[in-house]
Chain A
Amino acid sequence: MQQRVVLPQPQVNAELLKNALRAPLWYWGIMAFLGAIVVAGSVAVGFLMNKGFGLSGTNRPVMWGILIVDFVFWIGISHAGVMLSAILRLSKAEWRRPATRAAEVLTVFSLMIAALHPVVHAGRPWRIIYWSFPYDFSRGLWVNIRSPLIWDPSAIFTYLTGSALFVIVALIPDMAVIRDHTTGLKQKVYRALAMGWRGTPRQWKLQIVAGFLLSALLLPVFVSVHSIVSWDFAVMIGVEGYHVTIFAPYFVIGAVHSGVSAVVTMMILMKWMFGWGSYIREEHVESLAKLLIVIGTTWLYFFFVEFSFALYSMESQEIALREMQAFTWPYWPLALTFILFSYIIPIPLWLFRKVRRNFKIMFWTSLLVNIGMWLERFLIIVPSLARKQVWPFDWSTYHPSAIEVLIVVTAYALVFLLLMTFAKLFPLIPLFDIKEGQTLSDDIVIGKRRVPALRVEE
């Protein structure tokens, strides 16, 4: 049953803008802590560039380490925004309202951070320019546009541009509210950002149309981004375990699984940190959990098919690789943790209504999913490269160096830092969406029961 709470609009403004207008002391403590990690990480990146990529744990034949694993992971997290915002907006799911902004912002920041990983991984980042762009017109030298490695940047930047526009379009009415609640320089800045928003019917109409158009346009882009990332691996025939036709949808559904789980984690954190219990309610987390059961089970189907088809090949090398992934040290504990955390622990728990409506359990289980999904990417990328060569004397394994681990930790801190900075400047729950939801809510009396209802245009 829905626990609908109808609040007066001034109260909605006051509560959701509380942090943006006057941040509490603990907020600055968190910012300082995250800032320190980011500074340490930046120093590590500088050191790595200065001394060379030999400081990382990558070595022949494993030349892609946890930076690439993390790149794939953050691309996956970025799928949360469109999945929740665009699809739920197009399908007019009411429970999307408190989750959309956080999901969209998470998309933008995780994409930005994802794009940094290959740059750091390149060792000499400035070389990326001539790897990615035509560099010698006179000699007719061009980059290999048939390579997915070249498609990656265009897909990611298209998605980043679209997602940023998506966030900005949805932010305009809320900027106008902040403009009306501030004075002095702040007001001038928000006035510029609100772009003359007055809330006229024409402006609302354009804003809604833009939102729908961007939703529809972003959907294929969102699918293409992770598909292209998967093709970075799948078009290779030289690495066992990579050349698989299912990789594109398998990566996309895995990304959605981890992305939506990250949104659940984030929403619960927002509720706890900012005291938004009236907006992020049990029914919202429950609906997300139901969605995750479907997404998770679909992901399991793809995982099962992908794994089975490696055995289906009846090729000894491929079967040996799967044996190594699942049963050989140091991979077997990772494989066990991955499958337990990604599916076996959380999904059966979410089948119970009480669990779905329990914030603490949902927080920890959604976190588990992302730990599991990070390990999944590790298990896809590293073991295959470790057995890339036919001859056993060329086999090797990979241990990440301390610098790589620090850079990965910094990526998490940086995303969190950016989110916290955003929360200081703008509301993380869209004001206008919440108010629209309240305006559209109604109820119907059937017999002795009052049933929550929704006003809809047909």
Chain B
Amino acid sequence: MHRNGHRHIPPVATVHEFTEDMVSRHAATGPRYRRAMLILGALFLLGVAGFVARALQDGFDDRLPWGYFAATVAYLMTTAGTAPLIVIGMRAVKAHWHRPLARIGELYGASTVLILAMFIPLLFLIPSAVNRRTLYFQSDGTGVPGTLGRIPGAPQVYDLVLLAALVAAGVGLLWVSSRADRAVVRDHKGQSPGNWRGLLRQWKVHKVGLGLLGATYFLAAIGFISLYSIDFSMALVPGWRDAIYPAFQSISGLQGGLATVLVTMYLLRKYGHFEQYIHMEHFWAPSKILLALCLLWFYFGWSTLIIYWYGRQPVERDVLQLLMFGPYEWFFYGAFLLCFVAPFTTLLWNSVRKSTTGPALAAAFILVGNLFDKLRLYAGSWSVPNEQINFHGLEGVPLVHYPDLLDVLMVVGGISGALFLFLWMARRTPVISLWEMSEGLRLRVVRPFLRTRLTVIGKSE
């Protein structure tokens, strides 16, 4: 809104102007960009060094030293790994504001490769599902009624297959979605445009491909987050039986994914100078969803707490003690404050939502809070001694396991690795989707209406 009361409608560039501008930006790499890549690359290498040192120092027999590493995998999965979900969802409901943030989300799909690489060592650290509580409800045939008997490879094989499907869908989604844009870039460079000619048939295949890969990614992501949260934290703590936990982690993933996209979009707008294409409305609309996700985060967490609180069985009290009010209480309070209280009170106000800084700030809170949340869940559950794995409940709450230098290196290195991959992929494909923005520009006009001017947005289907 202008000071004189008239609404401000952002200037509309033509498709040609937009394409020319984007291609020229894509061709150039600024010193700040190169510096960022260098720093992130170095931190990633330090993380790798930390991992190697941890493997040499502690091996893969004891779970305790790897708790923070497992938390990092969970964190990356529920931030970078879920960023494409936001795009897939918004594309499915044809929300016109998703266009500038679509490619940002898709680029994070490439980080699933790093998640897979980090996940493989973890497979050696968890025991098989035999004769303990797991989602695969199997026994060793000792007479527990209703169990199915041994399921080969559980849980490792199933988690790995699901993550492999996620990686294939994530990389495939990025490749299919950016195909048309890469052809445009090659055209402008005077290179051969490859197989892409922009034929009607190619566009149809492109659309179907995006739909199928999007659906696969969605199912694989929710499935993997659910399985990972059960197999790599809950099933390791005797007495922790919380049916809402996988759904809670999925909601946390959606919240983290949207927060990742918003923070990246803010940085891109501010430091990449994309003000012309990323407007307030592109923060305003997702900020409402972020607000709803904050409420859902609280609701799912509360649903666990109230049932355990009312149950007051010794096993339930021990689990609450381990994960919320005991050794990791400060992580829990931090997560509660930053995943719910701070973003909720920030986004509650329309004037804050209707800005570029407000939603980005709330998203930044969430990204930090999500890290605290994963640290308390995974460091906590990985600190339970292996001997207790098939007990009915915890035999005493384990003491807090503080991170050492190697843990810090692995956490920072993992996060830096995902960001490095994002920047690296952003050099290979335009960071704002050319075809989707062009489509949006064609479907948007500003027309007079009564005594004002309104934006008219076409809904093609």
Contacts and interface: CB of A to CB of B under 8 A. Distances in A.
A266 B310 CA distance: 39
A27 to B, nearest CB: 37
A206 interface: no
Contact of A235 (B7, B310, B455): B310
B454 A309 contact: no
B396 interface: no
Given A244-B307, A249-B303, A444-B443, A305 B247 contact: yes
Contact of B137 (A90, A308, A316, A454): A308
B303 A235 contact: no
Contact of A454 (B310, B442, B459): B459
Interface stretch (A57-65, A123-131, A180-188, A319-327): A319-327
Contacts of A302: 247
**What interface size band does chain A fall in?**
35 or more
Contacts of A319: 144-147
Interface of B is mostly: mixed
B36 interface: no
B456 A309 contact: no
Contacts of A309: 241, 243
Q: Which of A227, A237, A323, A453 has the most CB of B within 10 A?
A: A453
B380 interface: no
Given A231-B306, A235-B306, A451-B443, A311 B137 contact: yes
A234 B244 CA distance: 12
**What interface size band does chain B fall in?**
35 or more
A456 interface: yes
B402 interface: no
B4 interface: no
B281 A249 contact: no
Given A314-B144, A446-B443, A301 B247 contact: yes
B458 A457 contact: no
B7 A237 contact: no
Nearest to A446: B442
B459 A245 contact: no
Q: Which of B134, B146, B443 has the most CB of A within 10 A?
A: B146
B456 A249 contact: no
A64 B361 CA distance: 50
Interface in B208-238: 222, 226
B303 A458 contact: no
A448 interface: no
Nearest to A311: B137
A288 B134 CA distance: 37
Contact of A453 (B9, B133, B137, B457): B457
Interface in A425-444: 442-444
Given A237-B311, A444-B458, A446-B458, A455 B449 contact: yes
Contact of A245 (B147, B307, B447): B307
B7 A457 contact: yes
Given A305-B243, A312-B137, A446-B443, A453 B308 contact: no
A366 B286 CA distance: 31
A318 to B, nearest CB: 9
Nearest to A220: B295
Contact of A442 (B246, B311, B313, B447): B447
A249 B244 contact: yes
B300 interface: yes
A247 B222 CA distance: 19
A227 B457 contact: no
B249 to A, nearest CB: 11
Contacts of A314: 133, 137, 139, 144, 147
Interface in B293-313: 295, 299-300, 303-304, 306-308, 310-311, 313
Interface string A317-343: 001101100000000000000000000
A98 B204 CA distance: 33
Contacts of A200: none
Interface in A148-196: none
B461 interface: yes
A245 B7 contact: no
B454 A322 contact: no
A352 to B, nearest CB: 15
Contact of A316 (B133, B144, B288, B461): B144
A249 B299 contact: yes
A313 interface: yes
A91 B454 CA distance: 18
Interface in B354-411: none
A246 interface: yes
Interface in A34-65: none
B275 to A, nearest CB: 16
A452 interface: yes
A73 B349 CA distance: 36
Interface in A224-239: 227, 231, 234-235, 237
B458 A249 contact: no
Given A444-B456, A444-B458, A312 B133 contact: yes
B443 A455 contact: no
A244 B303 CA distance: 9
A306 interface: yes
B445 interface: yes
B460 interface: yes
Contacts of A83: none
Contacts of A205: none
B254 to A, nearest CB: 12
Interface string A243-263: 111111100000000000000
A138 interface: no
B457 A456 contact: yes
Interface in A282-322: 301-302, 305-306, 308-309, 311-314, 316, 319-320, 322
Chain A to chain B: the 5 pairs with minimum beta-carbon distance, closest first = A319-B146, A246-B243, A309-B243, A235-B310, A451-B458
Given A90-B288, A247-B303, A457-B454, 8 more contacts: A235-B306, A305-B226, A308-B135, A314-B144, A319-B145, A452-B458, A458-B9, A458-B455
28 contacts: A220-B295, A223-B299, A237-B310, A245-B242, A245-B243, A245-B304, A246-B243, A247-B307, A248-B244, A301-B247, A305-B243, A308-B135, A311-B137, A311-B147, A312-B133, A312-B241, A316-B146, A443-B458, A444-B458, A446-B442, A446-B458, A451-B458, A452-B458, A453-B456, A453-B458, A455-B455, A457-B7, A458-B10
